[in-house]
Amino acid sequence: MKTIILLGFVAILGALAAAGLFMLRRGGDRKKQGPQMARALAVRVGVSIALFLVILLSYQMGWIKPTGVPMGH
């Protein structure tokens, strides 16, 4: 499960980096850069939502358990 979550975060960061590169790239056709950047940001949002749903489903199925400091300490 840790691997799936890690891959999700890497995909989110990769899509964000791609959108940043499309935004900062100089030269070339500016009309092409807009749709590419929008697509990369849409992929980032989609992967973020999918990762959230996977974590929520994993918790509901009992595959992951919350950890941390116990209440009152």
One-letter amino acid at 16 equals: L
Closest CA to 35 of 19, 48, 13, 14: 19
CA distance 71 to 69: 6
Residue 40's pLDDT is 87
What confidence score (pLDDT) does residue 13 get? 93
What range defines the domain where residue 48 resides? Answer: 2-61
| Residue 41: closest CA among 19, 11, 10 | 19
Q: Does 73 reside within a domain?
A: no
Q: Considering the domain boundaries, does residue 12 fall inside one?
A: yes
Separation between Cα atoms, residue 60 and residue 33, nearest integer Å: 41
Residue 19 lies in a domain: yes
Prediction pTM value: 0.74
- In tens, the pLDDT along 5-61 reads 899 999 999 999 988 888 887 656 666 667 888 888 899 999 999 999 999 999 999
